[in-house]
Amino acid sequence: MPTVLAVLIDQINIGSNRRPIKDNKVVELMQSIRANGLLNPITVDRKFTLIAGLHRLTAYRLLGFEQIECKIVNFEDADHARLAEIDENFIRNELEPLERYELWLERDRILERMGLRFKPGDNQHTHKLSAIGGEINSLPPKTTLDLAKGFGYSERSFQQGKQIARDIHPDIKQKIIDTRLGKSRTIQLKIARTANLERTQAETAEKAFEAAMQQGDKVEAEYQANLAKEAREKQKELQLLAFQRETSPDKAANGYAKKITKPIPKKELPEPINNGKPVAAANQTGVEHGEKWMLNKHLIYCGNTAGKQFINLLPSDAALAIATLSSFWEHDYLVNEARVVAVLRSQGNINNFCSSHQMPFQHEFILNNIYVGIFSHHLIPKPENTINLEGVEGIISYLLNMYSNPNSFVIAPFMGHGEILVGCDRLSRTCFIGDENPELISRGIQRWQNLTGKQARKII
């Protein structure tokens, strides 16, 4: 049985992860304590760290008391203590939706660390026994989903709530709390699904930072920390825009955003000029082997991308090279030209490729059923799970966000349908791209011209 003692209020430690105090709740408790005394002691651990009862403690302090009755529990680690506090908070009715979602997510993670988060197919009785060395735990062996259902929430609500808690930037959550959006799970979910690539990039870099710190690699840790910071800032920026759209006057008045579409007029592209003389556009005359084209800041080469002519055009400090596996692969040199090389394949295993090529293999993962092999001389983060993206362009955007920064150089030895070129242009990377197929080069240039309204120029 827990011990109940009177403890000096100044001895009680309050953690930094406490829910914000609600003034009206404190006032109500002060009135109740004046009339009836403290009906329910607060809960602390044996180091007098507060587990549950912040509002009661605050009311007692404001009333001028020096001591308060405490139920002292014998939890040996912070996870047990925090879990007990969360369970008590769930019983209360004053939780705001975002607060509830945060607790769902935190409780889920604690249960996982404690070995008490059951998965489909687990035998809950034997799992519980093995997790605690054969002794019955005093804590209820339930998943967060079980708890959510027990308090009247559906599985769908639970999953969406966890996604909201996990995926919205903390600064944006604070903005949501003070608006009408604080009650709307639908709109919160919409904001949570904004900047998914940036959030995934940040999480991956944060895990890579931790791994580098454990290995004592300070240079790599600093690099990953910067990647994570930049990705989180981008996530915050994009989610702030989504928040502002949802809180605009039109939204408040109509309850939804009106989509305004305008036809984009076709423009006559200016005739390209080089050295004062007109040069035919790529789509008008086609492209020939050996030609080099400038597309604003991007360089396009038509010819063998494993040959010296293309390699001599490349920058010395490219962040990323993206290539597709082909029967005429002669591109191992890429790993010495770019910090990261991503090789895409529609199926198959990377083992055969690794055994016949010299690039240092890091890992493999799947993006939208496309296998991606990552090669580098450096420690490179790997996403934990299969990631679902829409189309090849989504995959390219993911790789660009994951392994490069704005103004980085990116190498692409295959044109494809121009996805890498277009992705680099949209995300402010500089692309060095080539292909032996003149028709693919011509189509890629034309696509870029149509999307940007700018004109390609041939280097003479």
For residue range 41-66, list pLDDT tens digits in order: 888 888 888 887 888 899 998 898 99
pLDDT digits (tens, 9 = 90+) for 98-142: 888 888 888 888 887 777 765 544 444 444 434 434 433 444 556
In a domain, 61, yes or no: yes
**Domain finish residue from 26, 55, 74:** 74
The structural domain count of the chain equals 2
In a domain, 398, yes or no: yes
pLDDT digits (tens, 9 = 90+) for 172-209: 988 898 788 888 888 898 899 888 888 888 888 888 89
In a domain, 88, yes or no: no
The enclosing H or E element of 13 equals none
pTM: 0.44
What CATH number should be reported for the domain holding residue 33? 3.90.1530.10
What CATH number should be reported for the domain holding residue 428? 3.40.50.150
In a domain, 120, yes or no: no
Confidence band of 233 (pLDDT split at 50, 70, 90): very high
Amino acid occupying residue 377: H
Say if CB 243 and CB 170 are below 8 A apart: no
In a domain, 254, yes or no: no
User: Which of these ranges, 148-157, 357-366, 411-420, has the smallest mean pLDDT?
Assistant: 148-157
pLDDT for the residue 250: 57
In a domain, 23, yes or no: yes
In a domain, 386, yes or no: yes
pLDDT for the residue 195: 85
Q: CA 368 to CA 398: how far, in whole Å?
A: 11
pLDDT for the residue 230: 92
Domain that holds residue 352: 275-459
In a domain, 101, yes or no: no
Say if CB 327 and CB 353 are below 8 A apart: no
Diameter over CA atoms, the chain: 94
**Domain finish residue from 74, 92, 120:** 74
Q: CA 320 to CA 289: how far, in whole Å?
A: 25
Of the candidates 166, 50, 194, the one whose C-alpha atom is nearest the C-alpha of residue 105 is 166
**Domain finish residue from 59, 74, 89:** 74
pLDDT for the residue 130: 41
